[in-house]
Structure formats: structure tokens, C-alpha cells
Structure 1
Amino acid sequence: MRQPAVAPWVRTRLRTAPGAAWALALLVALTSCLAAAFPRAVEDYEDAGLRHAVSEAAPERTVLDLTMAEPGLTLLPGKRDEMVRGASTKAAYRRVVRSLSAPLAVDAAQSSYGLRTTKALTAADPWLPRPDGLPAALTLSAQSGLAGHATVVRGRLPRVDGQVTADSRQVEAAVTAATARALHIEPGALIHVPALMSGRVSLRVTGIVKPRDPEGAYWAARPVFRTPALGQTVDMPPSTFWRAGLLLAPDAAPVLLNTDSAPEQFWQLAPDLGALNARGMPRLKSALTYTTDGPGLIKVRETTGGDTDAATGLEELITGYQKLRAGIGPVVSVAAYGTGTVAVIVLLMAGGLAAERRRPELTVLRSRGGSVRGLAGRLLAETAVVAVPAGAAGLAVALFAVPHGRWLPAALGAAAVVVLSCLALPVRAALAHRGVQVRGARDDLARARPSRRRTVAELTVLVLAVAAVVALRRRGTGDGGDSLVALAPVLVGVVAAFVLVRVYPLPLRWLARPAGRLRGAVGYLSLARAGRATAGAGTAVLPLLALLTALTTAAFGGSVLAGIDDARDRAATLSTGADARIESSSPLPSALAGKVARLPGVREVSPLTVRYDAEPGQGTRRIPLAVVDPASYARLSARTGLGPFPAHELTTTTARAGTPGSPLPVLASPSMRDVFGTGPFSLWLDGETVVLRISAVRAYTPALSQDFLVADAKALARRVGAHDKGSEAIADRYRPNSLLVTGARVDGAALRETAGSGVSVRLRATERARYVDSPLQTGAARVYSAAVVIGAGYAALSLLLALARAAPERGALLARLRTMGLTRRQARRLLVLEALPQAVLAAAGGALTGWAAIQLLAPGLDLTALALATGPGGDSPAGRLRTDSLSLLLPALCVVALATAVASGQAWWSGRRGSVRELRAGESL
């Protein structure tokens, strides 16, 4: 009778090697946590960026405004009054909300409805202020929810006594505190507006209120009811008058039908920001289109009982956000794919290390009749007992650490890590023990010949890499990219790894020959050992592939971050023109430039005059003109990198002579060159015609953006004032109205204090900070940086695993060599020299691969969306990928240093343990 096993396989193996089990559990838990946290982190910053974009936009752009002009015009007067009262409008509001298509959700707290005027009504009351003798223009609204959105400061809220109809001539109203201050309104004041046919409608102000949320959609969608403003007529010169709003009780709406104001019934629906998410944007756009221009509008009209129109700017806002997200997503995917590839390689190496550690045991089992299927099943169960709970723990930590986002992608990421971890050891062992082996054959990387299958696989990867690079260079990431494009840096690293593994034996052979003629044996032995691979030549690709992929991703990521900083610095510099800019609409004091130049941290001050009144000889277009000192301005342009030019291009002999009729040289933008050409042209300036000629063309210049001309101040002043006896008055017009300040550390507070009031002071540092205020950009940059750091950590782990796989053999080698007289110093040199070839190969190859990937992919990668949070202007330079030397060299040096440190540490530890433990009968090199 067959006896049962004394102890189960899994329990026995876990008790035999608890350290390896805990190490595997830690690796699986960490990797599954990162795999689960990544999609949730991406969703978190994308949703936060969307909510930020909507909340920062003006509420009049985000609300869904449903309006019905002249409601109930064909109804009898009594029916029409009933239609616009609060109860009927509220019932229609509820039906409208129910008719909306998901995922369009309404924020009921900020939404409102009622009846309002569309034409301002003139208030002829003499006690109302009249800035230029014009009466105030009032907008009236019988809007719902006033009690819930305002606090009564004085008086009480308006109400209805009895039943208000279109024939009523007096109702109650309320105004905000800002309106009351501007128009001198007190509780009890009586304001009169003209009625529709004859007479007037009286509005008695019963209360002054203060908005509880002035920036909310209830108030900000129609700012006139919150804050009064000065309007201007179209006459020349224009006259000003007050625009203000008065709020009526909802049941007082019928009185507005008796005014000549084209009243409209409205339902102002504010979007629910909590329901917005980035992945639902296509469905939300479809829902908006369905309501504003599709069948949903028919439902709305049936619900409201009239010809209702729908309008919103939310769809345009979503489109802009989607374009921004489409530009950022592929850049982040590059880091995600790179880090994910390195993590996969580490998991495979961990399985390979376990299989190599247990090769003697599995060889014995196979020789005694164990089947490949049985061994693989037992190893799978043994690994799953450790990996599944570790993966579940990592998933739980990820869900707790990143609470926002869907759980399904996170669970799938963690599950993929667990499956890969469970299969790495059984599959590797099954492939290695398909046939019964008594002893493994010697594997020498320098003598190995790649198989045909490996050659086909390498050629396939090469074709994919070329296709990815070509696709990225042709299409770029602006169209959203795809997985193949995002994998381009990884595929470049894979191809480089295959090439380096094939080339690696050549230098070993070249160096081994002269090393064999040296007196000592350490050099020759280290080179001979460097050519060995304890698990086959094919397996030697994995650690090199992990290092190259991580180094390429780190170099690529560092260059991306450097490109982002460069784009932001350049955009900020282009906005201010220097480190600081002082400007005024009138000439600045003559002594101000000297005072600013003496401030701490200021290097140079470049005065200039910016004018917008120059007109070409033909046409009415006005040309921006910067009048500068050529020498100072040339130094400024060179220092900022914004269109540097030689100063003599603006200071010719004819210009200094001021010869009438000879053209003055000017610096121009490409658009001005296209308009005026390269020949002489004339401008009308200060009552005279000035002949100019474009001597140089630059895309950017510190003084102005987009269209510009730059001329010599002294030459232009002499030319304009040549026929004018009041030339001093003409020259006074060219006194500087702007100062461009450069310096390492410009003190903004001191600069503002020196400039005084009525002068604008802008700092480059402040302008640069504008580009990092969006959660979409900051979140993407944070995730990208984290992915690069994590990839570097996994690369270091892969290097440690590669060194740990050969550690037992190296320990036995050192023990035997010490019995033959090898000193500790020589042992350390041996291990260091043995580890250096692959480390140097990986470091040099990684730096070279990173540089090549950047050069290949830079033309197709646009970093503008990731760099400029507020969106680049039409004159802003695009963010381009550029090589960052620190990102190329520092990770490569760290690889060499880590390999050297590990080898030295192993030599030191082996020396402490002694040789007796390592010398066992039957072992060999």
C-alpha cells in the first residue's frame, strides 16, 4: 500500500527557504502596489485638472443656459402670467433636469430659473448717480433661490403682496451691497423704469443683500446682479453710465412683461463638478450636443412649452481640455512603459534566480522520474501561496494610498503582476529541465553562438523599434499617439541590448590575449570570468536589458523634465523680455533708470520706448514699434537669447547722420518682413512720414511679442524732428516708457517701491509660476518623475539580482584561490574587475542609447502642453526635447559605482567567512 507524504511540498519548501519567500513576497507586494497605483494616480490628476479647468473658467462659459424669448406671447394675459410665475417655472425646471442625458449632471445648489430682462431699462430718477449725465441702465430678474444665496444686510427680502400681474405697477426688489454703494441706494428707495405702453413701473428696494458665494454660478453667471459696472456709449468721445441689476421675488415675474425689455424665461443649469471625470468627456460632449443641437432640445422645448434655445461654453472648454490631455498622455506613457518594462524584467530575473538556485534539486528530481508538468505545478503552487497574498496586500495599499480612481484597472494591474510572478519560476524551470540532465554544460558568452530563433526575435524587435521611431517622428504625440509610439524608447533600449550582447565578446577576446602575458593572474582570470554566464548566453541579456531600458528611460525622463523647465523659462522670458519689466503708458522719470540700476542684484537696465501709433503709408493698420538704444538692447537680446543681433545693424552711418530721405534700418519680425518686404517703406509717425528699411529679421525680441519693428531711438528722434522747430518736444515723446531689467536676483518688492505708483512691474519669476498651477500639468510631471525614480530603483535591483546569481560561485572561487595564496586585496580586485566589464558596458550603452533615443524622438515630441499650464500663446516657443547631460551621465556612473560597491562588499564578506565552509567535496568551478 502506498504511503502518503510526510509533509506537503509547499509547506516544506517555504520552511526550508523562508528568506527567499519573504523576498519574493516583498517584491510582488511592491510591484503590485505600484502597478495598481499608477492608473489611479493618472485618473486622479486628470480629473483634478478637468475640475480645475471648469472651476477656473468664467461661470457664464460653463453653465447650460436655456432661454425662451417672450414666453407665452400667444397666450391670453392670465395664462401668460401664470406661465412665468415661480411655481410654473420651477415645475418646468424639474422636468428639464430629468430630460438631460447622462453623464450631464446639474448642481442644484448653484442652478436657478426665472424671468429676466434682456434690454436694459433706463432709470430716470434724478437721485441716482450720473457720471456723464446719462441715467443708469438697470437689468431686472425674478430669480429663484435668493434667500439661499444671499445674506440680508439691511431691510428684508422682496416679497409679493397679493397677486402680481402684467398690469401691476409696483413691486419690491433687492440689490447687493456693492450696487447699493455705487448707486446710493437705501432700503425704501423707489426706482422707476418705463412701462411697455405708457407710464412707469415702480421698484421699491426693501433690502440690501450680500452674496454668500460671489464666485458661484448663481451670481457669477450674470455679474451685473452682483457688481455694478460702468458702461460706455459708442459716441466719440464716449460717455459713461452705470449698469446695475435688481432682483425681484419669483412670483413678481409677470410685471416684467409690462416693460420694454424683451424679457426671457431662463433656466440656468450649473454643471456638477463632482460628477466630472476625464474618461467621461466624450460621453459628456455627446450629451451636451444632444441637448443643445440634437433631439434633447426637442424634449426641452416640449417640457418648457415654447421655442427654447440652449447655449453653453462647456463643450468648447472640454474640447480644449481634451487637446491638452492628448498632448500630455503620450509623454507620461513613455515613462510608464519604460518603468513597466524594467519591472517585468526584474520579476523574470527573480524567477530565473530562484530556478538557478534550485537547479541541483530539480535536476535530481527529474533524474528520479519527476515529470516536467508535475514540477511546474508544484512550483506554481509554491509561488502562488506567496505571491497571491502579497499582491492582494499591494493592491490594498494602493487603494488606500490613492483613494481616487476606478478600482478595476488597479486590480487588473496587480493581477498581472501576480500572474507574472507565479509563472516566472515554473516556466523557467520547465524550459531548463525539459530533458534529464546530470550536469550543466559550461556556458561561455564569448564562445556562444545565437540560435536562429533568437536572431528572428531580435530582427522582429528591430523592425518594431524602427516603426515606432518613424511613427513618432512623422505624427508626434500631438494626435494622442499609441502604444507603439510610447514604446519607442523602450524598443530602442531593447535593440541596443541585443546589439551590445552580440558585440560584447569581441573586446573580451581582444583584452584576454595581452592580459594572459601579464605577470599576475588576476587580470586574465577576471576577463575570463567576465565572459562566463552561469545560466546561458540568452539569459545574460535580461540584466543588460533592464539596465539599458532603465538608463534610457532615466535619460529620456531627465531630458523631458529639462525640456519642460526650458520651455517655461523661455515662455516667461518672452513674456517679460528680461528678469523684470517696468512699464507705463506715459514716459518714465529720467532718474528712474539710474535708481533701478543701483538696486542690489540688478546687472543692467535697458531703457526703451514702446509705441503703438505708427501707421504704414497705405492702410489703417497700426504697427507696434520699439525705440531702443542699439548697444544696450543688443546686449539684452544676447543675454536673454531672444533674437540676438549685432548692434551695428541698427546704427549705420546714414542713420547717425540723419540724412533726410535715406531709410533708417530696423529690426523686424517675420510677419513684418512679409508685409513690407526688404525694400524701403514708410511709416506715418508724429505727423511725418519716416522711411525705413528692414536690416535684420528675428522671430523674437525682448521688447515686443508677435508683430514688431525695432528702431534706433536717437536716429528716429532726429529724423522726425528734422523739419520741426519744436524738436525738443518731439524728442520728449521718445523718452523711455519701459525699463527691461536683468540680474541674478532681482528684488521685486524693492523694484516696486523704487518705481512708485502708477507703474507696472512684472517679474520673470512670477510669470514662470503661472505655468505650473494646473493639476493636470503638475500631476503629470509628478507621476513622470516618480516613474523615472522607480525605474532607476528596479534597475539597481536587477543589477543586484544579476550579481547575486553568481555570488555562490564567486564565493567558492575565492575560497579555492585563497588556499593557493590569493590575498584579500587581490580577491577584491578580481571581483571588481570581473563586474566592471558588464557594468561599464551597460553604463556606456545606456548613455549612448539614451542620447540616441532623444535625438531620434525629439522632432516628434512636443512638451508644450506639459510645460505651459495656462496654454502657450501664439508667440510662445514650443517645448522641445533636448539632451540633458546630467541625466545621461549620472545614472551611468551610479551603475558603475553600484557594481563596484557590491563586488567589493562580496569580497570583504567572503574574507570574513573563511574558506572551510566554501570547500565542499564534489563542487567545481
Structure 2
Amino acid sequence: MRIPLLARVHLGTVAVLFVLTLSACLLVAGLPRAMQASFDEALRRSLAAAPGVQTDLTVTLPSSSREDDLYERTQFDTRDRRWHQLLPAALRPLVVPAGTGASHMSAKTALTPVTGTGGLTYINVGWLSDADRRVDWVQGQAPGKPSTTRYEGATIPVFEVGITEEALTKMNLRLGQTKTIGESDYAAVKIVGVFRPKNAGDRYWSHNQDILHVTQLLPPGKLDFEQHITTLTSDAGLAVLSGESRNLIYSWVMPLDARPASALAVPDLSTAITEFGRVIELQSSSTRSPYGLTTGLPKLLDDFRAALATAQTVMYLVLGGLLVVALGVIVLAVQLLADRMDHTLTLARARGGSLRQVAGTAAALTGLAVTPAAAAGYALSYFVPGPALPIVHAGPVLVVVTAVGFAAARIALTHRAPLHERRDDVAATRPSARRITLEVLVVVLALAGAYLLRARGLAGAGPGADRAGQDPFLLLVPIALTFAAALVTLRCYPYPLRLLVRLAARGRAAVPFLGLTRAARARSATALPVLILLPALGVSVFAAVISGGIASTQQLASWQSVGAPIKLTSKIEIPEPAIEQVRRAAGVEQVVLAQTARVQVGYGAERAEAIAVDVAQWQRLLQDAPISLPALSGGTSALVSPDLRGRGTLEIGWQSRLKLTPRGVIDSVPGFYTTGKFVVVPLSVQVRPAVNTLLIKGDASPDELRRLVPSATVESQQAALRAIQDDPLTTTVRWTLVVVTVALAAYALVAVVLSLVIGAADRARAVSFLRTLGLSDRQAQRLTVLEILPMILVTALVGLGLGLGLPAALGPGVDLSSYAGDVPVGDYSPDLVTPAALAAGLAAVAVLGAYAHIVIGRRRNLGAVLRVGDLS
């Protein structure tokens, strides 16, 4: 046959098929690319936001003898080059070259006590390979060569060192002071200089916080804090450091560059880190001082993979539904094209055409429509940034194969014998016992799968399991539930209609009876539209519910993290004049005073976090927020954490000794405490409250509040919400859900229109028969609406119920807390606006299509519709 001629004859249908294929291939190939690009960006942000000490690779060597000591910089450099040569291929693109960025080497002693302090003060000696580029000396001078002195009859080394201004103040040290360190093998440190970091916010310093800041530790069972500081010495001092008599650790830091990171390579990165650690250990020449690899990157990657797995699961669900619906709509369009060619192919078959020729003609014409469209959609997807995943290449091929294969199979099945005649409207075929058994089995398995998924949760969700793996069970259960719902709908759809037919038969009007009768008998014709509309509505409603649940939980998480519209906290007491200035600041509506501290519980070493606040005022401040606080009366009543419950009267040491009566248990204090031991008390229990926290209601400018209280940190609920929403993974999930919802709604509407057009010829013939019996145009419109609308309404209701029930059915299988500030997303309160709009849109399209069909039918001559002898 002449395929181009057939294409011109059926140009409208071919054009519809072209557009549907183009849009489907663009979505199937473009959305995965955009998703993967966002996954890569999320990984890069995660690596860049984490402290360097967590992401960077650090090779360590503890020295326990003079044979293990390193005295010269060249010894460090030789090993540094060696470590970079041993890097696995997966890690090499991410690790910066030696000597660049934050790459450096160090030697530090640990737990070196100051002699005579009883283990409460520790001054360690440290060396950094690039200290001259990292610090400015603001007092004294840079350390020089070490010297010696006599102490208790022995000659000990004296290291010239420098310290930070913070250590000078907090540890009561002086420039020029000499301190003896050690408890048995003594040494001395002479403070010759005070330095400041050139850039304290550089990731470099996350590896050396012990040099910048004084560390305070409270040993178990003690009441006094230990103070630790690491000083800086020179290259000459390095030559004297030895691990023979003190804890000495050498380190080589290899920073990571997050820019080349790819989410697809995360499994390879985890494997490479393990392999690198094993190779590093093999470089040890002594079992007493083995090399080791220290990094927090594996945990960070595991956490990312867990969040990524959830995102991928949700994406697979909605994109899989989108692909199925798109294929279904394309199959509907192919069916329309086959129906339009039916007369031509029947004539060719009657004139001796083989079944292969007839089926090949339909397949060729379909291929002529879908192949260029698929190629165009595939090409357009390359304008979407992101890597090309296998689905990007396989999706368009699947669309073409499905469309061409369905066209050939349908024509081959229809034209098995020449001059075929069909009367599907007379009686429905009774299903076989085998088919009924199979359908019941599918429904039972779907329900059992949903129950088991809720009962057992995800595979690998237990302690120590790999949470990043995909659980096939999670992907199969929604498909099974959708298929089961479609089977139940198709099987049960005619029965309520037959009941309505019986009721309509008792009336005198013929139109309701005829319309409902045709609707009840059209089960075979409605099977494909139902199989398209039901997953389209189910997945789109599911996406809308999930998106709404994420949005509401993000709001809750932002309020829980801040505890007020604006929170102002200071490490020192906020003066009363500053508080009054905050009250008078523009946009401030209410200010609640609070005092926080770490307090002593009882008379021992137990500590707890405490907040003194007027809870009633705080409740009024949170009047319109999604969080609340239990009531707390005045006096000495208190709210305690679960760890402090059941102790009766609670005595704490704060500004004075306070005896508190617990009046309730609170799991968390929004904006302050979520775990551990904490207590909430009225502000009035303090004799003179030292206010260090302000809870503010209003839309005041955070910058203005920082100016009014320079010592304070300002947090706002809106900023916390933006931080959660701006996460790349969160943005991808939300936008993908929105795009899929819109696309599925559009496909559902197209499916309704195509189903109307496919049945148009048969419907026009029936209406024409009835018009010869006196059926008016208005009655014809009502008849068409009654024939089409039941299928639309029943499918819309089932799809709506499926979409609203999927989140509950999946249960713990979909953990979306990673996209909602680590707060579990469990509130899937159905927002019926979007589902109602979708159902109403489908019904409206069906009604409008029915009216349009009647309007078009008016122009037809009855002689063009009815054959000779039809009225005899």
C-alpha cells in the first residue's frame, strides 16, 4: 500500500499521534536528566557544606618511638606524594593536588598536661606545614629554635610556641610565660607570640580547631572542666618533637573538591574509600605505629544515599506512572488510527491482501508518525542539563516499539479473517473461570503486598543495614494496587449501572434507559480508557498529596528549629537598654524574655539544659504556629524531659539552689532542645534573670536586630524554611511532583477526548437510528452524556481513592523526612482541591465532548451514516 497516501488521508490522526509521542519522549528522556542533575548538585552542596574534617581524607601516624619520629619537612612531603599516588581512580578527581587548597601536614601532641594542675589544664605542642600562610602574628614574634633548661635535675627541651588571643584570655596565660608540661617526661613551652588566623572561616581550620579555640571538657564524675589548647611551634621545634615519651600524631590532610562529584559515583566512592584505607594500612612498617585513614566521608555518603534512595523511589513511582499513562494514551491514539483505516484495510484484505501486508501497513504508518516524533523528543531532551541515564535512551525506544507493536498486533487480530463483522454492543462475553481466578489472585496479592510493606517496612531498614539500596517490593506494591483497582473497576463497573438501568426502565423517558444501557454494555470499549485514567488520576493525586505533605511538614520543621518567628540568642547577658531597643524596633510586635544555661542536677556531676521563660507569653507568641507548648503555672513548677521524669522533686543548681516540682513531661522544646536532659521553668524563679534569649513576633529585619544586639545570633522561621526548601533534592522532588501532576492531568484529559473520538462513529450511527424515530437534538445530547459520564465518574472516584490511599498504603516505605528538615512526613491530610479539580475537569471535558459530538453529528446526512437496509 502507499503509506504516504494513507498518511495524507489520515493527517489529523497522524498529527495527534506525533504530538503525543513527542511530548511523551521529551518527558521520559528529559525529566530523568533534570533529576540526576539535581542529585549531583545536592551531593556537591552536601560535600561543600560539611566541615573539612568530615569530608577530607586524613592519613594519620601515631609515633611511639624515636624510630617512628619524623624530624624534617621532606619526610612529610615524600609521604604526601605517596598517598596521592595510592589514591583509587574513583577518588583522584575529587582530591586536590598536593600543596594546593587546604592540603597540609601536621604534627601534634595530645593530652599533654601542664605540670602541677592535676590534669585540669593541657597545653599541647603542634606544627603546621603552612602556618606561615595561615596566620598573622599580632603580638610578640613567630616561634624560633627550641632551647633547653634544667628541671628537677634533668635537662628538658623548651619549645618556643605561639597561641591565640582566646587561649591567652581563657587560660590566664601571658606573653613571655614559660609552662612546664608532662607528668614524668617533662618539657617546657615558652609563649613568644600571639596569632590570629588569616581566615577563620576557611575549611582548613576545621582540622585544627584545637589550635584556634580552647576546648572545655567535663570528665565523668568531676565537677570542674578541663581546658585544652594546642600551640604552634616552628620547623625547628618539629625536629625536637618525639613520640617516645608523649602522645604524638602525624597527619596528612587531603581535601576534597566537591565540584566533580556525581551522585552516580557514590557507591564507587564508598568502595574506593574502604580500599584506600586498606592500602594505607599496608604501608606501615611497624605494628606499634600503623598508618590509618581518618574521614567522616563514608557516613556523609551513607546519609546522602539514604536521602537519595527515597527521592529515587518517589521519582520512580511517579515517573513510572507517567510512562504507563503516556504509553496508554499513545495506544489510544494508535487505536483511533487503526479504526480510521479499518475500512481501507478490510477492503485490501477482501481483495486478497495477506495478513502480513495488512498488519505491516498499519505498523509502517504508525512508525511514520511516531519515529520522527520520538527522535525529536529525544533530541530536545539534550537541552535539559544533566547526564544521560539509560532510561533517557531506552524510553523513546520503548515508546516507538509499543506504538508500532500495538498497531501491528491490533490489525492482525482484527483482520484474521476477511470481511469481519463485530457486534460488541449486543452482549458482554462471560469471563472464564481461569480469568476470574487470575484477577482475584492479583487483587489478593496487591492487598497482601500493601499489608506486608506496612508491617515489615523497607528491606534493609534494620540496624546496620544498607539503607541506600532500592527495595523492589516498594516499587511493585503501588503497581499491583493500581492494577488491582483497575481490574475491580472493570469487573464491577457494569453492575451499578444495570441497577440504574432497571430503575430507568420503570420510567416513561427513553433517554435515561438507552444512555445507561449503552454505558453498561460498553465494557470492552471502556477497558483501555479506564486503564489509562485510573493510574493517571491515582498517581497525580498521590503526587499532589505527597507534595502537600512535604510542604506542611517543612513549615512544621522550620518552626520546631527556631521556636518563634524570630529568635535572638547571645552567649552573654543582653542588657536591658538593648532589650528596650528591640521592643521599639520596626516590625516587632511582641518580645518574650528567656534565659538558658547548663545547670547542675542535684549535687553530683549530672548536668541538664534549662530554659527559664514565661510559657504563657510564649504560647501567645505561637498562637498561629503549627507548634504549641503545654501550660506551665508559676511558682516552682517545671516541665521536664523524658530522661528526668519520675524523680519527684527536682533540685538544680543555677543562680541559686532551686527545688522544682515537675508538672508535665515534654519531649522537646521548639527551637532549643530535642533530646537529652532538659527542664523548662518559669522566668519568675530567678531572683534576677540574666536574659540571654529573646523570642520575637513580627516581621522585623534580622540585620537591624543584629545591629541592636551585636553579641547575639539571629534566627528566623522564614530563613529556616527557605533553607529547607532550597535544598536541591527537596526542590527536585517538589518540582517533579508538580510537573508529573500537570502532565498526568493533561494525559487524562487527552484520554477522555480520544475515547470520545474512538466511539464517535458507533455513537453517531446509534443516534442516527434514534433520530429516525424522532429523537431530538437535546435528547441526543443527554443520551451521549449518559453514555460517557458514568465511566468517567466511576474511574475518577476510584483513581481519587487510590491516590489518597497510596501514602497510607506505602506507610514506612517512603521516608520523606530528608526533604522536610529531618521531621517525619506523616501528615498526609487530603487536600481535595487538586483532586476535585482533576475530576471536575475530566467530567467537564466528557460533557463538552458529548455536546461537540452532537453538534458535529447535526451536519451529517442520515444517508451518509446508515447503510441501505439498516432501516428495513
Alignment correspondent of 2:154: none
Alignment correspondent of 2:661: 692
CA distance in structure 2 between the aligned counterparts of 1:328 and 1:697, rounded to whole angstroms: 35
Instruction: Decide whether the 8 Å contact of 1:551 with 1:850 is kept in 2.
Output: yes
* Cα-to-partner distance string for 1:655-714 (whole Å, 9 max, x where unaligned): 8xx8xxxxx6544444433x42xxx424245645635244x4444555754467777749
Alignment correspondent of 1:57: 50
Structure 2: gaps of 5 or more residues: 114-120, 149-159, 170-175, 462-466
* Cα-to-partner distance string for 1:167-211 (whole Å, 9 max, x where unaligned): 9xxxxx9999x99xx99xxxxxx9999999999999999x99977
Instruction: Decide whether the 8 Å contact of 2:161 with 2:191 is kept in 1.
Output: no
Report the number of matched residues.
822
Q: How does 1:509-524 map to 2 (within 5 A)?
A: 509-516=498-505, 518=507, 520-524=509-513
365, 371, 396: which is aligned to 1:382?
365
* Cα-to-partner distance string for 1:492-551 (whole Å, 9 max, x where unaligned): 233222222222222322333443455554333332332343xxx345222112212121
CA distance in structure 1 between the aligned counterparts of 2:721 and 2:762, rounded to whole angstroms: 56
Instruction: Confirm whether residue 550 of structure 1 aligns to residue 496 of structure 2.
Output: no
Alignment correspondent of 1:3: none
SS in 2 for 1:546: helix
Between 1:778-787 and 1:565-574, the stretch displaced more is 778-787
61, 81, 85: which is aligned to 1:98?
85
| TM-score (structure 1 length as normaliser) | 0.75
**Post-superposition offset of 1:342:** 1.4
CA distance in structure 1 between the aligned counterparts of 2:513 and 2:342, rounded to whole angstroms: 29
Instruction: Confirm whether residue 779 of structure 1 aligns to residue 732 of structure 2.
Output: yes
Alignment correspondent of 1:43: 36
* Cα-to-partner distance string for 1:349-373 (whole Å, 9 max, x where unaligned): 2233233333333333444444434
Instruction: Decide whether the 8 Å contact of 1:347 with 1:424 is kept in 2.
Output: no
Instruction: Decide whether the 8 Å contact of 1:643 with 1:698 is kept in 2.
Output: no
CA distance in structure 2 between the aligned counterparts of 1:111 and 1:738, rounded to whole angstroms: 36
**Post-superposition offset of 1:860:** 4.5
**Post-superposition offset of 1:610:** 5.0
Distance 1:215 1:239, change over 3 A: closer
Instruction: Decide whether the 8 Å contact of 2:537 with 2:799 is kept in 1.
Output: yes
SS in 2 for 1:499: helix
Instruction: Confirm whether residue 681 of structure 1 aligns to residue 645 of structure 2.
Output: no
Instruction: Confirm whether residue 352 of structure 1 aligns to residue 335 of structure 2.
Output: yes
**Post-superposition offset of 1:53:** 1.1
Alignment correspondent of 1:276: 261
Distance 1:924 1:880, change over 3 A: farther
CA distance in structure 1 between the aligned counterparts of 2:188 and 2:582, rounded to whole angstroms: 65
Instruction: Decide whether the 8 Å contact of 1:60 with 1:220 is kept in 2.
Output: yes
Q: How does 1:61-72 map to 2 (within 5 A)?
A: 61-68=54-61
Instruction: Decide whether the 8 Å contact of 1:383 with 1:422 is kept in 2.
Output: yes
CA distance in structure 1 between the aligned counterparts of 2:768 and 2:560, rounded to whole angstroms: 67
Task: Tell me the amino acid that sits aligned with residue 561 of structure 2.
Answer: S
**Post-superposition offset of 1:620:** 2.8
Q: How does 1:200-279 map to 2 (within 5 A)?
A: 221-222=207-208, 266-279=251-264
Instruction: Decide whether the 8 Å contact of 2:565 with 2:717 is kept in 1.
Output: yes
Structure 1: gaps of 5 or more residues: 1-7, 123-133, 159-163, 168-172, 184-189, 659-663, 718-729
Alignment correspondent of 2:721: 768
Alignment correspondent of 2:101: 110
SS in 1 for 2:405: helix
* Cα-to-partner distance string for 1:600-625 (whole Å, 9 max, x where unaligned): 684x6666655643624777333635
Task: Tell me the amino acid that sits aligned with residue 548 of structure 2.
Answer: A
Alignment correspondent of 2:322: 339
276, 284, 287: which is aligned to 1:291?
276
CA distance in structure 2 between the aligned counterparts of 1:750 and 1:115, rounded to whole angstroms: 39
Distance 1:387 1:588, change over 3 A: same
Alignment correspondent of 1:613: 599
Distance 1:689 1:467, change over 3 A: same
Task: Tell me the amino acid that sits aligned with residue 547 of structure 1.
Answer: L
Instruction: Decide whether the 8 Å contact of 1:472 with 1:861 is kept in 2.
Output: no
CA distance in structure 2 between the aligned counterparts of 1:330 and 1:370, rounded to whole angstroms: 49
Instruction: Confirm whether residue 393 of structure 1 aligns to residue 392 of structure 2.
Output: no
**Post-superposition offset of 1:308:** 3.3
**Post-superposition offset of 1:93:** 3.9
Instruction: Decide whether the 8 Å contact of 1:24 with 1:386 is kept in 2.
Output: yes
492, 495, 504: which is aligned to 2:493?
504
Task: Tell me the amino acid that sits aligned with residue 449 of structure 1.
Answer: R
Alignment correspondent of 1:884: 831
Instruction: Confirm whether residue 672 of structure 1 aligns to residue 644 of structure 2.
Output: yes
Instruction: Confirm whether residue 468 of structure 1 aligns to residue 449 of structure 2.
Output: yes
Task: Tell me the amino acid that sits aligned with residue 26 of structure 1.
Answer: V
Distance 1:316 1:848, change over 3 A: closer
Instruction: Decide whether the 8 Å contact of 1:192 with 1:200 is kept in 2.
Output: yes
Alignment correspondent of 2:305: 322
CA distance in structure 2 between the aligned counterparts of 1:865 and 1:488, rounded to whole angstroms: 23
Q: How does 1:156-167 map to 2 (within 5 A)?
A: none
Task: Tell me the amino acid that sits aligned with residue 733 of structure 1.
Answer: R
SS in 2 for 1:683: strand
* Cα-to-partner distance string for 1:57-99 (whole Å, 9 max, x where unaligned): 1112222122445699549x9xx87xx454x755544443232
Instruction: Confirm whether residue 790 of structure 1 aligns to residue 743 of structure 2.
Output: yes
Alignment correspondent of 1:804: 757
Instruction: Confirm whether residue 578 of structure 1 aligns to residue 564 of structure 2.
Output: yes
CA distance in structure 2 between the aligned counterparts of 1:279 and 1:625, rounded to whole angstroms: 45
**Post-superposition offset of 1:469:** 0.9
Instruction: Decide whether the 8 Å contact of 1:117 with 1:256 is kept in 2.
Output: no
CA distance in structure 2 between the aligned counterparts of 1:370 and 1:597, rounded to whole angstroms: 92
Instruction: Decide whether the 8 Å contact of 2:706 with 2:712 is kept in 1.
Output: no
CA distance in structure 1 between the aligned counterparts of 2:649 and 2:665, rounded to whole angstroms: 15
Distance 1:59 1:750, change over 3 A: closer
CA distance in structure 2 between the aligned counterparts of 1:406 and 1:741, rounded to whole angstroms: 49
SS in 1 for 2:607: coil
State the Cα RMSD in Å. Answer: 5.1
Alignment correspondent of 1:721: none
Task: Tell me the amino acid that sits aligned with residue 347 of structure 1.
Answer: I
CA distance in structure 1 between the aligned counterparts of 2:317 and 2:437, rounded to whole angstroms: 26
**Post-superposition offset of 1:555:** 1.8
CA distance in structure 1 between the aligned counterparts of 2:46 and 2:379, rounded to whole angstroms: 31
Distance 1:444 1:72, change over 3 A: farther
Distance 1:589 1:450, change over 3 A: farther
Instruction: Decide whether the 8 Å contact of 2:537 with 2:745 is kept in 1.
Output: yes
CA distance in structure 1 between the aligned counterparts of 2:753 and 2:162, rounded to whole angstroms: 73
Distance 1:68 1:863, change over 3 A: closer
**Seq. identity, %:** 25
* Cα-to-partner distance string for 1:215-234 (whole Å, 9 max, x where unaligned): 77667655789xx5567799
**Post-superposition offset of 1:735:** 8.3
Instruction: Decide whether the 8 Å contact of 2:515 with 2:784 is kept in 1.
Output: yes
Task: Tell me the amino acid that sits aligned with residue 65 of structure 1.
Answer: T
Alignment correspondent of 1:567: 553
Instruction: Decide whether the 8 Å contact of 2:210 with 2:228 is kept in 1.
Output: no
**Post-superposition offset of 1:341:** 2.3
846, 861, 867: which is aligned to 1:915?
861
Distance 1:914 1:263, change over 3 A: same
**Post-superposition offset of 1:564:** 0.9
Instruction: Decide whether the 8 Å contact of 2:449 with 2:477 is kept in 1.
Output: yes
Instruction: Decide whether the 8 Å contact of 1:587 with 1:733 is kept in 2.
Output: no
CA distance in structure 2 between the aligned counterparts of 1:710 and 1:355, rounded to whole angstroms: 74
Q: How does 1:187-198 map to 2 (within 5 A)?
A: none
**Post-superposition offset of 1:473:** 0.7
Distance 1:844 1:308, change over 3 A: closer
Instruction: Confirm whether residue 733 of structure 1 aligns to residue 716 of structure 2.
Output: no
843, 866, 870: which is aligned to 1:896?
843
* Cα-to-partner distance string for 1:540-584 (whole Å, 9 max, x where unaligned): 222112212121112211111111122212222222333334556
SS in 2 for 1:531: helix
**Post-superposition offset of 1:846:** 2.1
Instruction: Decide whether the 8 Å contact of 1:166 with 1:256 is kept in 2.
Output: no
CA distance in structure 2 between the aligned counterparts of 1:302 and 1:117, rounded to whole angstroms: 21
